[in-house]
Amino acid sequence: MTRRFAAIVAVLLTASACRDARQDARAELERLGTLMTAHAARFSQYPHTLDAARPEDATNLPFNAGHGVELRLLQSSRQGYQAVAVRKSWACFMAVGPGGQGRLECAPVSGASRAAAAAAGSPLAPPPTVLHSPTVARADSDSAAAAAPR
């Protein structure tokens, strides 16, 4: 009975260690979105930096991404912001515009140039539809439309 219990625990621990990289990146962007909205309500503007070592003020939001996600604020203004989260082979992009309307998309990181840019700390260019869409939408690259060959 003890061996069986140990085997079950080992399987559960292994399964929890195999996190979903896309879901982790997406969850960190959603968490950032909640904090960015609260910051904008408090200071009447979105922050320009995400520096966990500095205290919160009108230009900074102390934020640490979790689950091994690398998160960068690409652009911020009074009316909106753009951020990217990368974990393993997945990148998720969030763009929020006037009125809090936004878009969140995830896609696998493909090609050596995009992987090298992520490793070097260079911003990955989000798809143009993410940056310029004024509507609220949720799309994942594993949907049927996005999964179609190009």
pLDDT band at 131 (very low <50, low <70, confident <90, very high): very low
116: which 2 tokens?
Answer: 């090298």
Phi-psi region of 44 (alpha: psi -120 to 50; beta: other; left: phi over 0): left
- Give the pLDDT confidence score for residue 134 in this predicted structure: 32
Domain ranges of the chain: 20-143
Integer Cα distance of 4 and 11 in angstroms? 11
Q: What is the dihedral of CA 119, 31, 51, 80, to 10 degrees?
A: 90
Which of 7-21, 46-60, 114-128 ranks highest by mean pLDDT? 46-60
Say if CB 91 and CB 115 are below 8 A apart: no
Mean local confidence (pLDDT), 29-56: 95
pTM across the whole model: 0.64
